[in-house]
Amino acid sequence: MPKRMCCCVSRTKDFTTRLDALHPDDRGAALQAWHEGAPDGVVQLDCRIRHAASSRYAWFQMRGTPVREGGHVVEWIGSCTDIDEQIRARDVLARSREELEALVAARTAELMVAEGALRQAQKMEAVGQLIGGIAHDFNNMLQGVAGAVNMARRRVADGRADEAGRYLDAARDAAGRAAGLTRRLLAFARRQRLDPKVLEPDVLAASMADVVRRAVRPGVEPRLEVGGSIGSVLCDPNELESALLNLCINARDAMPGDGRLTIGTEDVRRSAVEAAGYEGVSPGDYTAISVSDTGAGMTPEVLTRVFEPFFITKPLVQGTGLGLSQVYGFVR
């Protein structure tokens, strides 16, 4: 509430004669208010007025209406309300808001720096994990090649060259696994050479039925739900078959007991809003190929890392952790 309010009648015909009581910074606004309001009959102004005894300035809200006789202003009737406390409180709130905004900006900057450092640490961790996985797998494969070649050489040196063949075959198999590892890494990095051809997803998925049945164990029921796709796609058929097989093997391993594994296809349309949720996807028509299982599923923690190379939740002897990363790279 205002501290004090008074009404006054002034015999002064012109507000400008009282400008000396106003704060110097407010005199220009007072003149403008008078020139704009006087013709209409109302003058409104918030200004600082000096207290005669203390010479202290305080904020007042001034309103004035002229009294006219014969078309001339003979006096002014108006009010002068003390609003100093409200103005000062508003200034305090404004300063507090500015200080709060400055604190928020500073805190945001700190968080951005911390987030950048965290991303860099996560990136280095992923690179370290990738390098460690590659080194471990290649070391095992090279040991297999070197050991098989040494055994073959011993057989030849002992005059038993006819026995060297199986060791050379083992060396060839180890080299083949190394080449396969390289292909999977290239697939993850999207650097593998692709041979795209026009194919029908339904036909390709159906042709893999026997392969999938042999890949799963008894108790796991493979099921095809194709026919939902009526269009053709441009894709490397060999890489697509490899990606599907990787997904089916992961689905099989996700069901320790009995279960059902389903391969499905369907045509989908992605609007601009839907496409925005997928990196590198434009609005348009797509064919979705899915592999689902009746296993327990993945925890949110595992789901966030599922496409990382060499990240694996299986025992080491059951996989390399490159299956899903290869699928990811190929699909991208």
DSSP conformation letters of 20-32: GGB-GGGHHHHHH
Q: What is the pLDDT of residue 164?
A: 82
In eight-state DSSP terms, residue 15 is: G
- pLDDT 10s digits, 233-267: 888 888 888 888 888 888 888 888 889 999 998 88
- CA atoms within 13 Å, Cβ hemisphere of 318: 10
Look at domain 197-297 and name its CATH class. alpha beta
The helix (run of H) or strand (run of E) holding residue 64 is: strand 57-69
> Which pair of tokens denotes residue 283?
């609005």
Residues lower than pLDDT 50 in the chain:
1-2, 9-13
d(CA 5, CA 81): 4
In the block, tokens 């939740």 appear at 313
5-82 to CATH, choices 3.10.20.740, 3.40.50.300, 3.40.50.2300, 3.30.450.20: 3.30.450.20
* Domain spans in the chain, listed from the N-terminal domain onward: 5-82, 197-297
Instruction: Provide the whole-model pTM.
Output: 0.46
Question: Taking a C-beta distance cutoff of 8 angstroms, is the pair 227, 202 a contact?
Answer: yes
What per-residue confidence (pLDDT) applies to 9? 47
Instruction: List pLDDT tens digits, range 35-72.
Output: 766 666 677 788 888 887 777 888 888 887 777 777 67
Residues 214, 251 contacting (CB under 8 angstroms): no
